[in-house]
Amino acid sequence: MSNPIQSSEILKTETSVSESEFKSSKANQPEIKFDQKSNLTKSGNNLLDNLSAQIAKLPGMGPRIAKRLVLKLAMSKEKLLKPLISSLNDLNEKIFPCQKCGNFDEGDICGICQDASRDDSQLCVVESVADLWAIERAKNFLGRYFVLGGNMMSADSRGISEQKFEDLFAKITKEGVKEIIIATSATIEGQTTAHFISDQLKDCAVKITRLTYGIPVGGELDYLDEGTISIAIKTRSPLF
């Protein structure tokens, strides 16, 4: 007949060993953290977290989408990741702002500025390269461009450097521009920018027009379809 005291000691010993093994195995597992912002669990991998954080900074991205993209790239290295790395290297090494208009392209002068068939007498002034590309998608403007790189905030020029305005006015004077098409967005900042430019050019013998019909109040060119932009170009009217 077994001794009750000995059985109790054996049970305590087995329990102690099981708890020790459990703690040991738990210590070897990666720490699981909970991201309160994205409501996603993560394993604490700095490389993946850092890449997700960088992607989340891009327009239209967020923590959830960024993590899904990182996971997809990690799972498709040959098909997606390596071609993407190659394209990003090309973007970094070969794409630069055009020295004449501010567009992005290969080399110092973009393809639009090199195109001899474009009309030098028409100059379209836009806030961003995205706006330039939006107008190009409409395929009915054959003049030149000038990218401001922003817009005016209230009554000052915090959004655009003074050098940009000087470059614009010098371009208008030296290159024989006959018409300025101000294609800034239909926002308060965009309208302020348009009025500032027209006021600075009021003594110049140049026609100043503004995109009107088809552009909704508060609308931005990059979000408009080609048909709307095309109508706006065709139905432009004098600013004053």
- Identity at 153, one-letter amino acid code: M
What's the pLDDT tens digit per position in 39-75?
Answer: 444 445 788 999 999 999 998 899 999 999 999 999 9
* Higher-pLDDT residue of 30, 120: 120
Whole-Å CA distances, 122 to 79, 97, 104, 156: 44, 21, 20, 27
Per-residue confidence at 240, pLDDT binned at 50, 70, 90? low
Q: Enumerate domains of the chain plus CATH numbers.
A: 4-94 (no CATH), 117-238 (3.40.1360.10)
Cα–Cα dist 144/152, whole Å: 22
Per-residue confidence at 4, pLDDT binned at 50, 70, 90? low
* H/E stretch holding 63: helix 63-75
pLDDT at 185 over 80: yes
Whole-Å CA distances, 94 to 90, 91, 108, 167: 5, 6, 10, 24
Q: CB neighbours (10 Å) of residue 86?
A: 10
Q: In this predicted structure, what is the pLDDT of residue 120? A: 93
Per-residue confidence at 176, pLDDT binned at 50, 70, 90? confident
Contacts of 101 (CB under 8 A, 6+ apart): 110, 112, 113, 132, 144, 145, 146, 147
Contact 159/169 with Cβ under 8 angstroms? no
Q: CB neighbours (10 Å) of residue 215?
A: 22
Single pTM value for the model: 0.67
Contact 146/171 with Cβ under 8 angstroms? yes
Backbone angles phi, psi at 103, to 5 degrees: -70, 160
Average pLDDT over the chain reads 81
Cα–Cα dist 144/180, whole Å: 10
